[in-house]
Homo-oligomer: A and B are copies of this chain.
Amino acid sequence: MSRLPPPLPWPGGARAAASFTFDLDAESGLLWEQPDVAARASVITHQSYGPLVGLPRLLDMLERHRVRSTFFVPGWTAERYPGAVRDVVAAGHEIGHHGYLHEQPSALTAAEEATALDRGLEALEAVAGVRPVGYRAPMWDASWRTARLLAERGFLYDSSLMDADTPYELAVPVGGGDDDGRPPTSSSSIVEIPIHWALDDWERYAYLPGLVGSGLIEAPAVARAVWEAELDGLRAAGGCWVLTCHPFLSGRPGRALELERLLERVIGMDDVWLAPLEEIARHVRVLGLPPRTLTPPQV
């Protein structure tokens, strides 16, 4: 008899869920934080490798294994690399929202956060003709108003929080935790699909001297070991394992080889349901879970 709630029921009697997701940032996040990197050709090409080389390699990999995935794409990136985003759509994958220029939501005013959402939606619509149902906060740093802004725009799910092993219905805050003075809308919820820093390729691979990274650039087998340990744990717990990779990082040849080995292992687990986040969110929505209310801390 565990102190933890029972696992969610997964489709087909699966014991756990898993999703390989990709954040197609390209240069966006760097440029938002430090616009002057635009002048640095080596730095920019380090990032553009993502849409130019990493993405086609990863799309090939997913196609070889007939796996549908989720790609979170900043609007600016869609505008700079329209062909890349259309290739993702043509291959049948889900496009998620990832800000306009990869703006960190918690560093924005309410108006700025709303604008970033709206510009991102417009860009994805204009470039690829898609209206995403899912969102992931750039820099994985949602504000307390993010959920309400998403609900107001009809999003089905968010994937930016870290307080669970499994998706849940997140109550949209009304009349609290917000700072823009607008009257509360009627209460609602969005599906939250949690992520975690240990399930990201950024901490494993990202390195640009003086810009990003700690200096650590791991062997792909080491990265895989970290991700796989958590996969084993979440599988045992009946949770939802969400891996986040960046095409400019995990699309490098040696890393993609190792990622494919991991993908093959997950495909071979007949008790794990492998799906894009949209399908996971729709499954959760149907369960009709009671929404959870998160309360910002007071000091």
List chain B residues, Cβ under 8 A from A217.
197-198, 203, 226
List chain B residues, Cβ under 8 A from A143.
39-41
Q: Name A253's contact: one of B203, B226, B239 (CB within 8 Å).
A: B239
The answer to whether A269 has its CB under 8 Å from any CB of chain B is no
List chain B residues, Cβ under 8 A from A59.
3
Q: B215–A163 contact, CB under 8 A?
A: no
The answer to whether A243 has its CB under 8 Å from any CB of chain B is no
Chain B residue with the shortest CB-CB distance to A140: B42
Chain B residue with the shortest CB-CB distance to A160: B42
Number of copies: 4
Q: A41–B253 contact, CB under 8 A?
A: no
List chain B residues, Cβ under 8 A from A38.
296-299
List chain B residues, Cβ under 8 A from A146.
41
List chain B residues, Cβ under 8 A from A215.
203, 213-216
Q: A209–B139 contact, CB under 8 A?
A: yes
Q: B257–A236 contact, CB under 8 A?
A: yes
The answer to whether A89 has its CB under 8 Å from any CB of chain B is no
List chain B residues, Cβ under 8 A from A3.
56-57, 59-60, 87
Q: How far is the CA of A94 from the CA of B219 in the complex (A)?
A: 30
The answer to whether A9 has its CB under 8 Å from any CB of chain B is no
Chain B residue with the shortest CB-CB distance to A40: B106
Q: How far is the CA of A246 from the CA of B23 in the complex (A)?
A: 29
Chain B residue with the shortest CB-CB distance to A202: B209
List chain B residues, Cβ under 8 A from A52.
163-164
List chain B residues, Cβ under 8 A from A160.
41-42
List chain B residues, Cβ under 8 A from A233.
252-257
Could you list 7 examples of A-B contacts with CB < 8 Å?
A: A4-B56, A38-B299, A41-B142, A42-B106, A48-B163, A219-B229, A231-B254
A sample of 19 more A-B contacts (CB under 8 A), given A38-B299, A42-B140, A46-B163, is A4-B56, A38-B296, A41-B143, A41-B296, A42-B142, A43-B141, A44-B297, A45-B162, A101-B299, A165-B253, A197-B217, A198-B252, A203-B216, A230-B253, A233-B255, A234-B253, A234-B254, A236-B257, A237-B253
